[in-house]
Amino acid sequence: MGPPCRPGDGQDPRAPRAERRGRIFILSGPSGAGKTTLRHRLLAAFADLRYSVSYTTRAPRPGEENGRDYLFIPAAEFEAGIGRGRWAEWAQVHGNYYGTSAEFLREGIAAGSDLLLDIDVQGARQICARFPGSVTIFIMPPSPAVLRERLESRGTDPPEVIARRLENAAAEMAQAGFYRHLLVNGDLQTAARELIALVGSYRAAP
């Protein structure tokens, strides 16, 4: 049996479920791949898909809202949560902490809800170890040049942050093979359609 969440792992996420249990969908990809926009499209398409709002210690970007985009908390609070099992998974990304609420996952799964997580590769590995039936989807930019262009045109990050994000993007993309599904986001409309169809195919399974 192969590693969890990948083809050949002995799991068939589309197999009928013995009972109505929540399914976890994991979306990953480098910043600038268009993941946030695609996530919004997905949530708009499936009103009952519940988004796991991550906790982070990074500063809010202009336009970001506490509780909707992230839950912004101080590093001391985040670190205290590590020891108390507050995080279903957590990681340091770009020098900040990010984590998924263990309570949100527990409640969502118990309620039979399908859940959507937007987390990095380190987090995806942790969730897959605990929930091997998770559906993992990696969003790829069409090329490194397009990725740079998107990060720069966003205009929200200083140059040194963009440089760090580009370095991390290369490392993150090298791990795309961990995911069950790869989706290239060249054209947003096409990628959104593909993503909705993919998630829909799982949700339509008995």
Contact residues for ligand 5GP (CB under 6 A)?
Answer: 28, 31, 54, 58, 89, 91, 93-94, 98-100, 118-120, 122-123
- Shortest approach of ligand 5GP to residue 118 CB, angstroms? 5
- CB nearer to ligand 5GP: give 22 or 29: 29
- CB nearer to ligand 5GP: give 127 or 192: 127
- CB nearer to ligand 5GP: give 14 or 164: 164
Q: H-type helices in the chain, by residue range? A: 35-45, 75-83, 102-110, 121-130, 144-154, 159-173, 188-204
For residues 109 and 142, give the distance between their C-alpha atoms in angstroms, rounded to a whole number.
Answer: 34
- CB nearer to ligand 5GP: give 15 or 171: 171
- CB nearer to ligand 5GP: give 114 or 120: 120
In total, the chain counts a number of residues equal to 206
Amino acid in the structure at residue 191: A
DSSP 162-202: HHHHHHHHHHHHTTGGGSSEEEE-SSHHHHHHHHHHHHHHH
- Shortest approach of ligand 5GP to residue 12 CB, angstroms? 26
* Closest residue to bound ligand 5GP by CB: 123
- Shortest approach of ligand 5GP to residue 89 CB, angstroms? 6
Classify each residue of 91-103 as buried b or exposed e, where b means 16 or more C-beta atoms within 10 Å of its C-beta: bebeeebbbbbbe
- Shortest approach of ligand 5GP to residue 106 CB, angstroms? 15
